[in-house]
Amino acid sequence: MALGRRAMLSAAAALVLCGCGGGDPAAAQAASSFGAALGAGDLRRACELLAPATRATLEYQQSRVCPQAMQQDNLSAGAVLQVEVWGGEARARTSSDTWFLTRTTQGWRVAAAGCVPQAQDAPYMCKVSGP
């Protein structure tokens, strides 16, 4: 995971700890759509909901088109429980996973998925993430 993304994830974690952030129905809808696509096994749709840089990185790292690459990562679909937004970035907690979203010109997109927190104040480690 690139340093810039790690910094963003660390900042998001710090904001969560301080209770900052708010909601955005569009971010929540994007997270729910991503979860629904994963739950239905519709990896083509899940790929459409990835941020462009995340999709490009995934395809490059796996040397496969996105739907095939997503099969390798075994992402969990869980129901979206909470979405917290900080400007153009958001974190969605599900019953089984954590996703980070970013606001793009196409709307909210998933920038990282399959994320688990590391030690306190450390960045999340994610199965799928962009630069």
5-62, pLDDT tens digit by residue?
443 444 444 333 333 445 679 999 999 999 999 999 999 999 999 999 999 999 999 8
Pairing of strands 125-129, 98-104: unpaired
Dist. CA 45–CA 36, nearest whole Å: 9
What is the domain extent for residue 47? 3-129
pTM passes above 0.85 = no
Domain tally for the chain? 1
pLDDT of res. 23: 64
